[in-house]
Structure 1
Amino acid sequence: MRIAELVKPIKPKPPMTLPQARIHGLKQNVERDKQQLQAERDRQRQQRDAERLRKQQQRKTSTL
């Protein structure tokens, strides 16, 4: 078998209508917002962990 027999040709997609483009854009915004929210939560979590670690180290050095 040849590769050409296994691979189906890719057909170009017709341009989106205005309502389809609007829905597509809104879906992309939702995904981007979810990623930004997760990134912000991760940043705040790292900040809390760093502060917690700093306080623990400070307690250890003050007791010595």
Structure 2
Amino acid sequence: MRIAEVISNKPPTPEQQRIKTMQSQVRQAQQRVKQERIRQQQMKLNQQRSKLNSV
């Protein structure tokens, strides 16, 4: 016996759409923060390497 899940095709309400948009913005901001941290770590490592190479 199979049970099929019923999925509604109703469009989201404006409130639901706003929440989805905000959640998306949060995820994007988290990704940007993560990328910036990686970039800063790489810059720091490159500076340390250049100091070691110049000595």
Would the TM-score normalized by the shorter structure come out above 0.5?
yes
| CA deviation profile, 1:4-50 (whole Å, cap 9, x unmatched) | xxxx6xx5632110000000000001000000000001001000000
Unaligned runs of 5+ in 2: none
The equivalent residue for 1:56 is 52
Greater C-alpha radius of gyration:
1
2-side partners of 1:26 and 1:17: how far apart?
A: 14
Unaligned runs of 5+ in 1: 1-7, 60-64
Q: How many residues of Structure 1 are paired with residues of Structure 2 in the alignment?
A: 54
Whether 1:14 aligns to 2:7 is: no
The equivalent residue for 1:25 is 21
**TM-score, length-scaled by structure 2:** 0.83
1:15 is paired with a residue of what secondary structure?
A: coil
Moved over 4 A (4+): none
Whether 1:34 aligns to 2:33 is: no
**TM-score, length-scaled by structure 1:** 0.72
